[in-house]
């Protein structure tokens, strides 16, 4: 980091402290002591002060120096090389920006987004109709592809858990992890799930409750629909979903750390193209598609989550935030995740992921304390049992339009996010055994996600099923937007104000955790190979994501852009299958002679033979 940048950060930190304190005092007063504030602050004012409070706090955290770094040491020196950021002064950033960008991976996505919004502005109806029609055709005609790819991903993850290749250590036998396990899990989980878990947590089960999936055969809004609704929420957000990230991320990690391939999404094709061949048309196409999928997916999430945050402000203070409020929100959010991404993995990305996970756990514990525990335990246990027993038939069920609109759409969406989430998983996994990567990237993340849907979805179903609150009516009154679902549910519980406050914080922190990571990943992909991204690259792609989100809000086309991003899930579903073939063949040829997990367990308990091949001799954890 240059002296100028360090001085600027120190000055900014000094400003952020009083801003956070003053805005925090006003927000807390407005939440918990509304009579102190009354109607003095307008809707736009509440949005501004809320953003100032959350944003200044997160930005301050991101800009704190690394505690054990000596003077002159880069703040992200512990990160893998390509995750480090070249922190330059403003002038140096401008001078080096253009010559360090890959002309294809940089130029093509920028041109595509410009053309898309030009078409959306000039021919909005035709553009939206064309993209939606293409999405419906792909999800309908290629549903078996997505279902098959996800099913194979789950089976492959299971095989890696018990098979011999789970013992492979990424980076070699002597490689050490760059991060502690809690930090590793926090960054993998919060980057991959985004704010969708907050957005859909209280809503998805309600939709399945009102319109049960055909597979369930349950009457709408019945007791049987409650269990089935929770089961399908677990199905769409559990092991199947997270497996999509693993089958993209693990091949990238293996060929990067074991075979010297670059940290790129195109590294998936290394077994077929060779490391030197990744600069060809096929490799470039995969990287460009990854950039488009990442920007399109994250930017639409930023826009949609902005509406949810504004709905929360309107619900809490019964105010209208005005037409410019969504743009103000996205602009403020862009600054926050831009600062976090620019600060690097060792500072902003790692710390905000930790805050995110802490808030996630705190919210869950409070919900357990004040929520309908007996209902959640009873219905949640039944849903978990049904999920386990009927996982295979649900995974293979292809019946009709509902499956295309829900299950296949979900699988396509997870595959469209897999390039950036998978590459980040790969980047963090050096020094980890393959089995640990699977346990973290699929098992632990799925369990955390399913616990959330059981708690929040079960609570939503309880208040709806018992007529305590008509949440579905509130959704209908908001034009069918699921963004409002959580607020009436939480307000109906004890400590409702505190829960709504934490819910709003989670909305913001979750999307920051994904957006700062996606900014860094896109900057890596768009920078020339073997070069770490610079400050200018990070700022540019943060602004591009924000600009795309603002364009969605101003020009429209959010549904069309989301559909276009989802369409990229199809190619990556195919690429994941190709990658697994290449990875399996490489494992078979280069990683033989390792014990299966049952053999290791017998060795640990003293059963079975001891000898040179005994796994304990090689264990160095």
Give me the pLDDT at residue 149, please.
Answer: 95
pLDDT at 614: 38
H/E element holding 177? none
pLDDT band (50, 70, 90) for residue 573: very high
pLDDT tens digits for 456-488? 999 999 999 998 999 999 888 877 778 888 889
Dihedral of CA 70/75/78/80: which sign? negative
Give the integer Cα–Cα distance in Å for 33 and 498: 12
556 has pLDDT over 80: no
pLDDT of residue 73: 43
CA angle 61, 62, 63 (to 5 degrees): 95
Q: Which helix (H) or strand (E) holds 491?
A: helix 486-491
Q: How confident is the model at residue 240 (pLDDT cuts 50, 70, 90)?
A: very high
pLDDT in tens, 192-221: 887 778 888 999 999 999 999 998 888 998
pLDDT at 90: 54
Which residue has better confidence, 354 or 559?
A: 354
Which residue ranges make up each domain of the chain?
101-527+537-581, 591-621
pLDDT of residue 38: 56
Distance of CA 458 to the CA centre of its chain: 23
Residue 253: predicted pLDDT: 95
Q: How confident is the model at residue 70 (pLDDT cuts 50, 70, 90)?
A: very low
Question: What is each CA distance from 183 to 188, 354, 388, 524, in whole angstroms?
Answer: 9, 7, 29, 21
3-state helix, strand, coil split of the chain in percent (to 5) is 75, 0, 20
Q: What pLDDT shows up at residue 613?
A: 35
Work out the pLDDT band at 558, boundaries 50, 70, 90. low
pLDDT for residue 561: 72
The pLDDT value given to residue 132: 84
- Judged against a pLDDT cut of 80, whether residue 2 lies above it is answered with no
Q: Which fold has domain 101-527+537-581?
A: Amino acid/polyamine transporter I (1.20.1740)
Condensed to tens digits (0 to 9), the pLDDT of residues 76-126 reads 544 554 555 555 555 555 666 666 777 888 888 888 888 888 887 888 888
Interval 143-168: pLDDT, tens: 899 999 999 999 999 999 998 999 99
Per-range mean pLDDT, top range of 128-142, 264-278, 280-294, 438-452: 438-452
Distance, CA of 435 to CA of 246 (rounded, Å) = 11
Encode pLDDT of 264-280 as tens digits.
999 999 999 998 888 88
More confident residue, 321 or 382: 382
Exposure letters 563-598 (e unless 16+ CB within 10 A, then b): bbbbbbbbbbbebbbebbebbeebbeeeeeebbebe
pLDDT the model gives residue 368: 94
pLDDT in tens, 296-327: 888 888 887 877 777 777 776 766 666 677 88
| Tokens standing for residue 8 | 């600027």
Looking at residue 39, its pLDDT comes to 60
pLDDT of residue 40: 63
Q: What is the pLDDT of residues 327-359, one digit of tens each?
A: 888 888 899 999 999 888 888 899 999 999 999
Can you tell me the mean pLDDT for 51-58? Answer: 88
pLDDT at 26: 85
- Asked if the model's pLDDT at residue 530 lies above 80, the reply is no
The predicted-structure confidence for 284-297, as pLDDT tens digits, reads as follows: 899 999 998 888 88
The mean pLDDT of 232-249, rounded to a whole number, is: 96
Please work out, in degrees rounded to the nearest 5, the angle formed at the alpha carbon of residue 444 by the alpha carbons of 438 and 447: 130
The token duo for 554 is 């101003």
Mean pLDDT, all residues of the chain: 84
* Cα end-to-end span (Å), the chain: 34
Listed range (99-103, 140-144, 547-551, 580-584) with the worst mean pLDDT: 99-103
The token pair at 468 is 């305590």
Q: Residue 606 — very low, low, confident or very high, per pLDDT cuts 50/70/90?
A: low
Cα 620 vs. chain centroid, distance in angstroms? 32
């Amino acid at each position: 980091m240059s002296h100028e940048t360090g001085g600027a950060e120190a000055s900014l930190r000094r400003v952020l402290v009083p801003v956070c304190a003053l805005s925090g005092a006003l927000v807390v007063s407005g939440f918990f002591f509304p009579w102190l504030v009354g109607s003095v602050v307008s809707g736009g004012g509440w949005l501004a002060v809320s953003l100032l409070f959350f944003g200044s706090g997160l930005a301050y955290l991101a800009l704190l120096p690394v505690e054990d770094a000596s003077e002159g040491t880069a703040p992200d020196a512990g990160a893998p090389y390509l995750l480090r950021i070249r922190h330059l002064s403003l002038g140096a950033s401008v001078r080096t920006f253009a010559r360090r960008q890959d002309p294809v991976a940089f130029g093509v996505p920028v041109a595509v987004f410009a053309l898309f919004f030009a078409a959306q502005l000039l021919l909005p109806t035709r553009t939206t109709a064309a993209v939606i029609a293409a999405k419906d055709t792909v999800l309908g005609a290629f549903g078996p592809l997505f279902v098959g790819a996800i099913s194979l991903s789950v089976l492959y993850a299971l095989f890696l858990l018990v098979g011999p290749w789970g013992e492979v250590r990424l980076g070699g036998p002597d490689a050490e992890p760059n991060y502690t396990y809690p930090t590793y899990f926090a960054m993998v989980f919060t980057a991959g799930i985004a704010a969708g878990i907050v957005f859909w947590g209280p809503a998805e089960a309600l939709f399945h409750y009102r319109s049960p999936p055909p597979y369930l055969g349950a009457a709408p809004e019945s007791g049987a629909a409650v269990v089935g609704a929770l089961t399908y929420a677990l199905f769409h957000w559990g092991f199947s979903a997270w497996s999509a990230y693993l089958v993209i991320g693990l091949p990238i990690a293996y060929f990067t750390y074991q075979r010297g391939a670059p940290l790129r999404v195109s590294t998936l094709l290394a077994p077929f193209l060779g490391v030197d061949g990744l600069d060809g048309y096929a490799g470039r196409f995969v990287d460009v598609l990854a950039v488009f999928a990442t920007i399109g997916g994250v930017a639409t999430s930023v826009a949609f989550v902005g509406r949810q945050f504004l709905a929360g402000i309107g619900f809490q203070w019964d105010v209208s935030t005005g037409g410019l409020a969504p743009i103000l929100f996205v602009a403020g959010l862009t600054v926050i995740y831009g600062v976090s991404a620019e600060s690097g993995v060792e500072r902003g990305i790692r710390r905000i992921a930790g805050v995110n996970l802490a808030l996630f756990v705190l919210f869950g514990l409070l919900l357990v304390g004040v929520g309908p525990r007996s209902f959640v335990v009873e219905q949640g246990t039944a849903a978990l049992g049904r999920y386990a027993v009927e996982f295979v038939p649900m995974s293979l069920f292809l019946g009709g339009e509902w499956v295309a609109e829900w299950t296949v759409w979900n699988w396509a969406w997870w595959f469209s996010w897999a390039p950036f989430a998978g590459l980040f998983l790969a980047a963090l996994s050096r020094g980890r055994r393959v089995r640990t990567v699977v346990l973290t990237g699929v098992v632990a993340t799925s369990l955390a996600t399913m616990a959330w849907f059981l708690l929040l979805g079960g609570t939503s179903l309880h208040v709806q099923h018992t007529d305590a609150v008509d949440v579905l009516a509130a959704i209908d009154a908001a034009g069918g937007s699921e963004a409002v679902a959580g607020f009436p549910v939480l307000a109906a519980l004890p400590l409702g104000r505190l829960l709504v406050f934490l819910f709003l914080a989670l909305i913001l922190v979750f999307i920051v955790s994904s957006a700062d990571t996606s900014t860094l990943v896109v900057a890596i992909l768009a920078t020339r190979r073997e070069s770490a991204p610079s400050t200018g690259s990070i700022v540019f792609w943060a602004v591009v994501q924000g600009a795309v989100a603002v364009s969605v809000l101003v020009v429209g086309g959010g549904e069309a852009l989301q559909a276009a991003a989802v369409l990229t899930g199809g190619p990556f579903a195919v690429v994941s299958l190709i990658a697994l073939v290449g990875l399996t063949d490489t494992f078979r040829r280069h990683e033989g002679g390792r014990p299966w997990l049952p053999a290791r367990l017998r060795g640990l308990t003293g059963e079975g033979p001891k000898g040179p091949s005994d796994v304990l001799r090689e264990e160095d954890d």
